[in-house]
Structure 1
């Protein structure tokens, strides 16, 4: 009998800790709040500044914000789409490189080539990250039709999702580090969603070498909400080639299989004995070409993983994934309060987009790990609910932690 999320989350019966807990020790780090080795000699200074980045077709100005922490890690963000343009971190030799895919010009993000490929490089995603089957759902007895932009399905908020709007941005400096507060009001009926959604996302680049992303939203009508961040990473450096040798651990015993349209079937399937078992650190490319129906449907990995300790308190994110790249030694850890994480192995990158160092982004030259509720949850009563009610506040937190080490176990 197939597992369901409800059966795995029976009252008083938490999901068991997966083998990923043991894998934590293989990376030599006890948890997301452990010590971080940095390449800084202490000479770097925090900073946050703003400059013009370009203009939208309607004449509105787009600005770029540069954040730097006390260890020299630097991030650039634009107010269009809340897009993370670049993120520079040190390798084991102390050399900094940009580890996220993207562009240096606004025109590149507005180009026909980018819109047709639609990879969502570095963008904030909303109202609903991932897919909703048929672009339809029912809520409180009323049927709602959404924009369909992925065949017959709704993907990442529709034709004009949060990745294509101009956010209001307020920079700040705090005891923890530097950051940005981004705000956007999604009007009632936008892309077919009910209710006016007031959304706030905070990026904080800390002196502990963490990027903390805090999501917050309120609504005046019941509506689905599933916000996420869609950065593509290559820990060797953007434009440096394939990510198939990156070692990935996901703390998940199960995943949600999909049909040919990448819509979940409703089953919760164990990863044991499948190419989806990343409970131990495994090179991304080790099993990606196996003869497996799910890999065929996704053209590689493009699946939601059910986190073993998912759905944590917003004040206590739990480890979801670790990625280590052997040449640079860079290690990325992700902790979250979300119940799921979508692992996407860059299967639709096709060499038709050129990145910041002038290199084409070829097939599988970046990966995304999108913390989230499950795809198509508005149509799946047994999945964790994504419905936000008036009077309630949507809150979610994801932490990206950066370090470097010579070997996985050093």
Structure 2
């Protein structure tokens, strides 16, 4: 199917021969989002700069083989639980849920084979003023240790003039814990620009963040105030301004890799703003999630070649991941990540683009 606002074409094949498509949703002014059903992945996000020059602003690969070769989470849907769960276990209704540890002692991003490594089904592809792609998959009871047969849906929608919304929905047949997000790596100067994100100016609408231990698990006790710390992004700050400061939390994360606590409320609310002085691109993020993980690309180490055959290195991109707080299943003092039968999990992230 090809039209003025929607296109689909083969992108690669899985080892069993299954064809993986690339679906492109087109908006105005050259704005477009390309999605792979493999991992429900945002493979490309093309936006204009202040001069009207369009470029792809998310890290990833030009060919499908790159996504198969290494698990780097570029643009992927993360589940069942984004971020970390301490000790790869949690208690649920008096029973221990044992997960696979894949990040030291902890479970990270859904385990050994998370949602990012699964092929999702295309169930809806809509042309028109708001081009839309809907993907679904069923996660069976016990997958990566998580309880419950989980029916999951991800909806990508391009809205006028330059806005991408991503909505996650899920239901379960027994109590479980769930935390879904998108893991795109952004560089607003372009994925092939060769520039770093240290000059990007970041605003985060948060008064508190979660301090972490040496394994990136939140510390016991209440969230920490951002006031008078390198984590105060309540006003626009260049990422380079404080990332090299001799701060214990920055040392533990090798930079920023922390959850910022967002204000409670109904519906998507302003969470963050990112501005690139060179290109003039601006991204605003709105979400109904309780947390936002800011990751400054600290572990990009040059071992992976991405788009344009460029080696991705530290600070080449950053992630802004709206999701539940890390380790919430083990922390009754955190906003709950529990999902019960009869409930519908529904979370939305809106990425709105402009220029200055």
* Shorter-chain TM-score tier: over 0.9
1:399 and 2:350 equivalent?
A: yes
In 2, the alpha carbon distance for the partners of 1:135 and 1:124 equals 20
Distance 1:286 1:152, change over 3 A: same
Match of 2:295 among 338, 344, 350: 344
**8 Å Cα contact 1:340-1:373 kept in structure 2:** yes
In 2, the alpha carbon distance for the partners of 1:336 and 1:323 equals 15
Structure with bigger strand share is 2
In 2, the alpha carbon distance for the partners of 1:403 and 1:70 equals 12
> Any idea what the Cα deviations from partners look like across 1:150-193, whole Å, max 9, x if unmatched?
01100000011000000001343366510210101000000000
Corresponding residue for 2:27?
Answer: 69
Q: CA deviation at 1:209?
A: 1.0
Corresponding residue for 1:224?
Answer: 177
In 1, the alpha carbon distance for the partners of 2:161 and 2:32 equals 13
Q: How many residues are paired up? A: 352
In 1, the alpha carbon distance for the partners of 2:134 and 2:328 equals 28
Corresponding residue for 1:210?
Answer: 163
In 1, the alpha carbon distance for the partners of 2:48 and 2:292 equals 26
- SS of the equivalent of 1:280 reads coil
Corresponding residue for 1:304?
Answer: 259
Match of 2:224 among 269, 274, 289: 269
1:164 and 2:117 equivalent?
A: yes
Return the TM-score normalized by structure 1: 0.84
**8 Å Cα contact 1:239-1:365 kept in structure 2:** no
In 1, the alpha carbon distance for the partners of 2:173 and 2:242 equals 46
Corresponding residue for 1:100?
Answer: 58
**Structure 1 stretches of 4+ moved >4 Å:** none
**RMSD (Å) for aligned C-alpha atoms:** 1.2
Match of 1:389 among 330, 340, 343: 340
In 1, the alpha carbon distance for the partners of 2:326 and 2:129 equals 33
Corresponding residue for 1:152?
Answer: 105
Unaligned runs of 5+ in 1: 1-44, 406-410
> Any idea what the Cα deviations from partners look like across 1:224-255, whole Å, max 9, x if unmatched?
00000000000000132210000000000000
Match of 1:330 among 281, 287, 302: 281
Q: CA deviation at 1:85?
A: 1.1
1:294 and 2:252 equivalent?
A: no
Match of 1:357 among 308, 330, 352: 308
Distance 1:94 1:245, change over 3 A: same
Q: CA deviation at 1:355?
A: 1.9
Q: CA deviation at 1:86?
A: 0.8
Return the TM-score normalized by structure 2: 0.97
Of 207-216 and 121-130, deviating more is: 207-216
> Any idea what the Cα deviations from partners look like across 1:184-215, whole Å, max 9, x if unmatched?
10000000000000000100011231101111
Corresponding residue for 1:19?
Answer: none
Corresponding residue for 1:237?
Answer: 190
Unaligned runs of 5+ in 2: none
Q: CA deviation at 1:295?
A: 0.5
Q: CA deviation at 1:104?
A: 1.2
**8 Å Cα contact 1:85-1:100 kept in structure 2:** yes
Q: CA deviation at 1:46?
A: 4.1
Corresponding residue for 1:251?
Answer: 205
- SS of the equivalent of 1:183 reads strand
Of 101-110 and 190-199, deviating more is: 101-110
Corresponding residue for 1:85?
Answer: 43
Match of 2:87 among 129, 134, 144: 134
- SS of the equivalent of 1:304 reads strand
In 2, the alpha carbon distance for the partners of 1:350 and 1:239 equals 16
**8 Å Cα contact 2:5-2:128 kept in structure 1:** no
> Any idea what the Cα deviations from partners look like across 1:356-390, whole Å, max 9, x if unmatched?
12221111100000001100000000100000000
> Any idea what the Cα deviations from partners look like across 1:36-85, whole Å, max 9, x if unmatched?
xxxxxxxxx84112111111112222111111113321211111001111
